[in-house]
Structure 1
Amino acid sequence: MAKRSIQVSSQALKHVRQAFARKGWTQEDLAVEVGLRTRQPVGRFLAGKPVERRIFIELCFQLDLNWEEIANPLKGEGAEQIESVRNNGWEIDTLVEQVRSLYRDKIQEQCGTLRLLDIARRVGVDNIYIDVNILEEITSQRWLEISDLVQGFNPDADEFDRFGLSRVRQARVLGLEAVESYPKLMVLGKPGSGKTTFLKYVAIQCNKGEFQGYRIPIFIRLKNFAEDASDEGSFSLVNYISQELSSCGVSAAVVETLLLQGKALILLDGLDEVQHPNSEEVLKQIRRFSQKYYKNQLIISCRVAAQFPRLPGFTEVEIADLNPEQIESFAKKWFVEVGRSSPPEGLATANRFLEKLKRPENKQIRELAVTPILLNLTCLVFAMKGEFPSKRSNLYEQGLDILLVKRDEAKGIKRNEVYRNLSLPHKIKLLTQVAAITFEQGYYFFEQSKIQQLIADYLRTLPDSQSDPETLRLDSEAVLKSIESQYGLLVERARQIYSFSHLTFQEYLTARQFVTSSNPQALEHFVNHVGEKRWREVFLLAAGMLRNADDLLQLMKQKIDAIAASDGKLQELLISINKKTLSVEYIQQPAAIRAFYFSLACAFDHSLASTLSIGPVSFSFPTVPFFPLPLYLCLAQAIDGDVGMDDDFAYALDFFLNRDASGLNHTDALDRAINRVLDCAIDFALALDSDRARELRRSLQQLKAELPNPDKGLQRFKTWWQAQGQTWTELLSAAIVEHNNASYDWQFSNQQKHLLRQYYDANKLLVDCLNSDCEVTPAVRSHIEDTLLLPIAAIGKLNSL
């Protein structure tokens, strides 16, 4: 089809030339502004000769002219439609419906499906989309101090809020509400936060008439626009849109009319994907388009840290991380749609996934699953075996690979390299070094100047690096912004304050730094942190990443024994515990008995013994705080492995952890749970000594009789518990301690109590490493298990055998 041409009317030619003169441009200048490679079309335009229609319109725009007023009258269908609209404004709605009908199938083909990473087939947008929450204040633009960000974030606590690293305390609005509120919207988001999916969903909703059905949705991937325009040598967004609709039989004249009337919903996806130098031209086109066709709705998506000048008239908002309700909604849709299961089967799998995701041992995985791209990975991994991988480092490595490589590869994006010497392996090594240094120093949030200095220190080690301080400063800032925008692994939480996107990634990279170090003393330095609670996950990851964990585990054991050897009273305690253990007749795993007595003596929970075993009974229960009844609830779970999966037991534990009984609402469950707790405590004593078991049974039955019957009134039981619960639990604790012959007044100082807790936690960590999916030889495993919680003298005797 021949391209349509237009020429300036003879009556308007003088007016056109005056407008050109007022600009003070040469013909070459005007050609550059329009994006032409030659000035010939400009000369023909100024001479009143025909030029291509799209060029004619753009030239008029540059000269501040109304092209319809200066052009020779149009002939044909398009002219008749425009004239009809001009004379009968109400007919624009009919024209919109006609164009929507012509364009409906194409927009459905463009936006109706999407490809999830590592999923072979395309997925329907409506079948996987979940409502997006929008932050109206960009997190990186907040004026906050580090002290503001760390409130409630305490990695040294027994159960700290890992999500505190990324928690944003501001109101959220639904995505479609934000679109309705702001006619020109810049939607920012971290990599994989769902920006493209959101724009496609808006387009499909409009296409179906369920959102702004009075407009025509037009979806443009800006990367494609920039590449096509560069190939043709002419950047014009309006012409590109006209070409999009022309394939559906919509003339350029009709497109122009619709745009002037504000009847388009323009969705421009992936501003950050446009490479330099095309980015400047694309921004200029968007600015001009939005100013000329200001009546239309425009939505642009872009990564949150991309370095672009602000577009006038646009409101910037940010896609928020997924909340628990969104994660649940996504998972249920994913396992039905992607899992190719029937809806009942898919929902059943989703419920199993969600139940396991909520477990305490999976909190690191749960922390990752707050963006759609990593939640998709989590669902995919779970779908393979119906379980999360025992070796978590593999999952985290896949997550990093997605953010660093696979996501851009899947979208055909090649990012601009801001620093030519920084290859992908160097970027990973840089991130690993930054993670280890900041984590070891206790920094979870760090000022921009701090992280730039760490980056500059690394850049100095590269070949052909710059030594000039100012050059290094600029290079380090460019690298920081590049890592933030391209990969999202470093995030600006407030103005010039950064953190890793997930604490899990900081921990994983820290572990990687130690296990891949060529320094033979690296592991020896590493184990100095074995008694620090915040290093727990790093040790578990490191053990799983090593080809052989013998050296690490033996160094950990030596360091733990050194902790015990540093205090004489602690050694006395271990000697006493060892003597008691040796006096027990029924014993297959002495370390479990030592752990039990150690817990009683120190008033700790029994989670160390939970990882060991007594006879055929396997221990498996969670860590709980420092007061007695939960201690023995865990004991019940240790004796009866099924208790850990029992709703009654879980409920009772929650109840006793909540002393005011405000959560009590299931009297039958409470009664059954208390009975099981008391019975299991007796069973444990019976396994050690039948005489003590009988004495303990009498004491516990007496205590049980003191409990008011919950069936006779819930409020009565609550009132009694608030008044007497503390005393009752202390009596229960005293009874169990007394009948297990473990009641000693050791009178530990506060410093010794701290040392005991450190020693206990370190042993618990060591046992968890042994029971993880790490590679350890049988001889090393056996030696560590045999010497757990033994005094130094006893260990020396075993070593000498």
Structure 2
Amino acid sequence: MVAIDLQQESVNFLMQVKRACADRGFSLDALARASGLPSDDLMRFFDGLALEEHQVARLCEVLNLPSPPKRVSVVQQIRHHWESRIQAQCGWLKVIGHPDPVPLESLFVSPPVAHPLRPETNLSLPGLLREVPHWFLTGGVGMGKTTLLKSLTLACSAGMLLPHMVPMLISLPDLAAAGSSVKEYGAELFAQWDVPDHRVFESLLHQGRLLLLFDGLDCVPLGQQPHVIRMIRMLAVQYPKNHLVVASGNPDHGVYFEQMGELILPDWSAPQILSYAERWFRYRGQMELWEQWQRSYGGDRHWQELCSRPLLLAHACVGLEQHRVGGTWLVEEAVHLLLCRWPEVGEGDGGEVVASLAIATYEQPQQQWSWATLCRTLKAL
């Protein structure tokens, strides 16, 4: 049980420190002055929370204590214990028109990100997270914000990104519905995932060992958005060593996070579109359709513009695979489904309509004006 390991990890060392302080007549303030460690960190340590490795080493030096035996870190214990849970939470994608969840690793293409003040075209959020800890991420409907956050969660869990941290993907609509503070909600999530000691979450938060990925700010009810925004801002100020990403489909939310870097998910380029399509048809065992896709993509400007949005790109792949054909009414209906009812669309008629959209004008060239109208509508969001 993870909770037992976490509680026992530093108890012996804590007792040694208390005895050494008593022998030397050290108060907490005196120990802080002698060691150079923050009084708040030492106070939490005496209350039972773990210290960072360099802080432990400093106390051993000041108090002339033997170094405690090396243990598997708290972060490693939690990540190992949560591995299957995080895979279940983040390892699958739902594609409308396709009946079963699809493994993220089979389809994921690292998306481009744009920084308002940096002209580079090869920026990636994982790389930027190593440089700057706090980011606001925005992008239009269907640009892959949630998918990107899922990939970051998986990469951190596997130790490939920020290996000294524990990742948490937090739905902001769920946080708002719970009526809790971020600290309370985080501790509740830890308890649900078999780490019931609230001090563990608090310790990791104070030490800056959390990668907090907040998703769906624009989906929080309007009346609750100011409160949720204030909570995130306060958390970033109070615990600046943690890494944060706040994702919203509303770029206007960026003004509330001026202390963070801002990133935008732009349209996908041809290499990314083709990479995703190849992955899809390879996953489906339909490589003959991949060849057909390349021909259709290369010869139709409207097709290229539509597929620059990942959500519609996924539907285009499904539509071509299923060979569905529709009329011009599909365009208006699909826009309604994608923009107004995306969370509600299931696998029934709505999903079939969206899948059909992908080849509506591929089969009917006279409908090209519909593709142009659709592209303008989506790009105007």
**Alignment CA distance shift 1:179-1:394 (3 Å):** farther
Question: What is the match of residue 707 of structure 1?
Answer: none
Cross-structure match for 2:244 = 298
Query: Which of 338, 361, 374 is matched with 1:505 structurally?
Result: 374
Distance 1:208 1:507, change over 3 A: closer
Query: Which AA in structure 1 matches 2:201?
Result: V
Tell me by how many angstroms 1:363 deviates. 2.3
Deviation, 1:214, is 1.7
Match of 1:357 in 2: 297
Deviations 1:588-619 (A, max 9, x none): xxxxxxxxxxxxxxxxxxxxxxxxxxxxxxxx
State the 1:264 CA deviation.
Answer: 1.1
Residue of structure 2 in register with 1:451 after alignment:
none
The letter for the 1-side match of 2:331 is Y
The structural deviation recorded for 1:225 is 0.8
Which of 228, 233, 238 is 2:178 aligned to? 228
Instruction: Report the alpha carbon displacement of residue 353 of structure 1 after superposing the two structures with TM.
Output: 1.3
Note if contact 1:188-1:319 (Cα within 8 Å) is conserved in structure 2.
Answer: yes
Gaps of 5+ in 2: 1-38, 59-67, 347-370
- Give, in whole Å, the separation in 1 of the partners of 2:110 and 2:188: 32
Match status 1:219 vs 2:164: no
User: Which one of 340, 345, 348 corresponds to residue 405 of structure 1?
Assistant: 340
Q: TM-score, normalised by structure 1?
A: 0.35
Matched-pair contact (CA < 8 Å) for 1:266–1:298: yes
Quick one: distance in 1 between partners of 2:338 and 2:117? 22
**Structure 1: how far apart are the matches of 2:165 and 2:204?**
9
Counterpart in the other structure of 1:646:
none
Aligned partners of 2:167 and 2:213 also within 8 Å: yes
Per chain length, whose mean CA-contact separation is higher, i.e. which structure has more relative contact order (CA < 8 Å, sep 6+)? Answer: 2
Check whether the contact 1:393–1:508 (CA below 8 A) recurs between aligned residues.
Answer: no
Distance 1:134 1:84, change over 3 A: closer
Contact 1:221–1:268 under 8 Å retained in 2:
yes
Contact 1:185 1:316 in 2 (8 A): yes
Choose which of 290, 309, 312 in structure 2 pairs with 1:374.
Answer: 312
Q: Structure 1's 68 and 226: CA in aligned 2 closer, same or farther, altered over 3 A?
A: farther
Counterpart of 2:99 in 1: which secondary structure?
Answer: coil
1: CA distance, partners of 2:262 / 2:376: 32
C-alpha separation in 1, matches of 2:245 and 2:52 = 30
Going from structure 1 to structure 2, the CA distance change for 1:508 and 1:306 (only over 3 Å counts) comes to closer
Q: Secondary structure at the match of 2:168?
A: strand
Which letter maps to 2:87?
Q
Of 204, 210, 231, 1:258 maps to: 204
Residue number in structure 2 paired with 1:126 = 105
Distance 1:353 1:504 in 2: 22
Q: CA RMSD in A?
A: 3.1
Paired residue for 1:453? none
2:331 maps to 396
Give structure 1 stretches of 5+ with no counterpart: 1-64, 140-168, 230-234, 412-501, 510-801
- Cα distance in structure 1, aligned partners of 2:81 and 2:375: 51
Match of 1:175 in 2: 125
- Once the two structures are TM-superposed, the CA of residue 381 in structure 1 deviates from its matched residue by 1.5
> What number of residue pairs does the alignment pair up?
304
Match of 1:272 among 208, 218, 226: 218
In the aligned structure 2, how far is the partner of 1:304 from the partner of 1:92?
44
Distance in 1 separating the partners of 2:339 and 2:127: 33
Deviation string 1:551-604 (CA, Å, 9 cap, x unpaired) is xxxxxxxxxxxxxxxxxxxxxxxxxxxxxxxxxxxxxxxxxxxxxxxxxxxxxx
Instruction: Kindly indicate whether the alpha-carbon contact (under 8 Å) linking 2:306 and 2:375 is maintained by their aligned counterparts in 1.
Output: no
Residues 254 and 262 of structure 2 are in contact (CA less than 8 Å); yes or no, is this contact kept in structure 1? Answer: no
Alignment of 1:230-629 (within 5 A): 235-250=180-195, 251-307=197-253, 309-337=255-283, 339=284, 341=285, 346-359=286-299, 362-385=300-323, 389=325, 393-410=328-345, 503-505=372-374
Counterpart of 2:246 in 1: which secondary structure?
A: strand
| Matched residue type, 1:353 | W
Secondary structure at the aligned position of 1:301 is classed as strand
In the alignment, is the contact (CA less than 8 A) between 2:133 and 2:243 conserved in 1?
Answer: yes
Corresponding residue for residue 73 of structure 2? 94
Given that residues 269 and 300 in structure 1 are in contact (C-alpha distance below 8 angstroms), is that contact kept between their aligned partners in structure 2? yes
2:93 corresponds to = 114
Shift of 1:377: 1.7
Residues 278 and 111 of structure 1: CA distance in aligned 2, closer, same or farther (over 3 Å): same
- Over 3 Å counting, the alpha-carbon distance change for 1:301 and 1:307 in structure 2 is closer
Q: Deviations over 1:504-533 (max 9, x none)?
A: 327899xxxxxxxxxxxxxxxxxxxxxxxx
Q: Deviations along 1:122-175, whole A, 9 cap, x unmatched?
A: 111111110111110189xxxxxxxxxxxxxxxxxxxxxxxxxxxxx8734123
Q: Is the 8 A contact 1:189 1:195 kept in 2?
A: yes
C-alpha distance 269-84 of structure 1, shift in aligned 2 (>3 A)? closer
Say whether residues 1:188 and 2:138 are aligned partners: yes
Q: Distance in 2 between the 1:68 and 1:246 partners?
A: 25
User: Aligned in 2, Cα 1:327/1:398: closer, same or farther, shift over 3 Å?
Assistant: farther
* CA–CA separation in structure 2 for the residues paired with 1:193 and 1:321: 8
CA distance in 1, matches of 2:71, 2:341: 45
Give the TM-score normalised by structure 2: 0.71
Alignment partners' CA distance in 2, 1:306 and 1:129: 28
Preserved CA contact (<8 Å) 1:136 1:172: no
CA distance in 1, matches of 2:241, 2:148: 22
Instruction: Find 1:82's aligned residue among 46, 50, 65.
Output: 50
Indicate if the aligned counterparts of 1:117 and 1:407 stay in contact, CA closer than 8 A.
Answer: no
> Which amino acid counterpart does residue 74 of structure 2 have in structure 1?
L
- Determine helix, strand or coil for the equivalent of 2:259: coil
Q: CA deviation at 1:273?
A: 0.8
Kindly state the Cα deviation for residue 503 of structure 1 after the two structures are TM-superposed. 3.8
Are the equivalent residues in 1 in contact too, given 2:217–2:248 (CA < 8 A)? yes
Q: How does 1:14-29 map to 2 (within 5 A)?
A: none
Q: Secondary structure at the match of 1:246?
A: helix
Structure number with bigger Rg? 1
Q: Distance in 1 between matches of 2:173 and 2:234?
A: 18
C-alpha distance in structure 1 between counterparts of 2:308 and 2:215, whole Å: 22
| TM-aligned CA distance change 1:135 to 1:93, over 3 Å | farther
SS of residue paired to 1:299 = strand
The letter for the 2-side match of 1:302 is: S
Change (3 A) 1:83 1:377: closer
In structure 2, relative to structure 1, the CA distance for the partners of 1:299 and 1:130 (3 Å cut) is: same
Contact 2:173 2:219 survives alignment (8 Å): yes
One-letter amino acid matched to 1:117: I
CA contact (8 A) 2:268 2:308 kept: yes
d(CA) in 2 for partners of 1:92 and 1:261? 17
The letter of the residue matching 2:294 is: L
Summarize the Cα distance change of 1:212–1:392 in structure 2 as closer, same or farther, 3 Å threshold: farther
Distance 1:248 1:507, change over 3 A: closer
CA distance in 2, matches of 1:95, 1:307: 35
Q: Say if 1:66 and 1:508 are closer, same or farther in 2 by CA, change over 3 A.
A: closer
Return the alpha-carbon distance in structure 1 between the equivalents of residues 281 and 313 of structure 2. 12
Cα pair distance change 1:379/1:201, threshold 3 Å:
same
The offset of 1:312, in angstroms, is 4.3
State whether residues 117 and 410 of structure 1, in contact with CA within 8 Å, keep that contact through their aligned partners in structure 2.
yes
- Per the TM alignment, residue 283 of structure 1 is displaced from its structure 2 partner at its CA by 0.8
- In the other structure, the counterpart of 1:776 is none
**8 Å CA contact 1:188, 1:195 repeated in 2:** yes
Shift of residue 396 of structure 1? 2.6
Contact 1:107/1:207 (CA < 8 Å) preserved in 2? yes
Contact residue 108 and residue 207 of structure 1 kept, 8 A: no
